[in-house]
């Protein structure tokens, strides 16, 4: 429940306003607790942020292939439901993470995710 609440807060506002505790909570849940968020209440703006967040988090080697597939299915569902196209809305600001640009966002979580390095191992815990 804590991870879901943190996920909802993260995707409902600009990532420049993200709290590090929310990022940590969601990242740890995805990486080590097989967390797949409930996306049923998202609107189209939150869907882009959610797609970016999951797309980014599932790329770390601490996520098993089975979990990656579950998260990829969530991203695909969001893309279909909201008609998100990754190649059409791209920010030209190269200071923004390429995955955030891919989803048409103007802010990202790359600095906060760098701080999560100690947790990005399969042996964490």
Does residue 88 sit within a domain? yes
**Residue 105 buriedness (CB in 10 A; 0-12 / 13-18 / 19+):** buried
Instruction: Please report the DSSP string for 19-54 in residue order.
Output: -HHHHHHHHHHHHHS------TT--HHHHHHHHHHH
Nearest in space to 17 (alpha carbons), one of 102, 101, 90, 108:
108
**What is the number of domains present in the chain?**
1
Tell me which DSSP letter residue 58 carries.
Answer: T
Q: Is the pLDDT of residue 85 over 50?
A: yes
Reported as a single tens digit per residue, the pLDDT across 21-42 is 999 999 999 999 999 999 999 9
Does residue 37 sit within a domain? yes
Reported confidence tier of residue 117, pLDDT bands at 50, 70, 90:
confident
Longest CA pairwise span in the chain (Å): 40
Does residue 124 sit within a domain? no
Bigger pLDDT: 93 or 78?
A: 78
Does residue 125 sit within a domain? no
Does residue 11 sit within a domain? yes
Reported as a single tens digit per residue, the pLDDT across 42-77 is 998 899 999 999 999 999 989 999 999 999 999 999
Q: Which domain holds residue 37?
A: 2-119
Percent of the chain with pLDDT over 70: 89
């Amino acid at each position: 429940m804590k991870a879901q609440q943190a996920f909802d807060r993260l995707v409902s506002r600009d990532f420049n306003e993200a709290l590090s505790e929310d990022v940590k909570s969601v990242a740890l849940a995805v990486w080590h607790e097989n967390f797949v968020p409930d996306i049923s209440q998202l609107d189209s703006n939150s869907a882009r942020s959610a797609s970016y967040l999951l797309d980014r988090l599932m790329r770390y080697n601490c996520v098993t292939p089975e979990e990656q597939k579950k998260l990829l299915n969530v991203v695909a569902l969001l893309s279909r439901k909201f008609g998100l196209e990754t190649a059409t809305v791209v920010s030209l600001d190269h200071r923004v993470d390429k995955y955030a640009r891919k989803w048409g966002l103007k802010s990202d979580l790359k600095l906060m995710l760098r701080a999560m390095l100690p947790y990005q191992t399969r042996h964490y815990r």
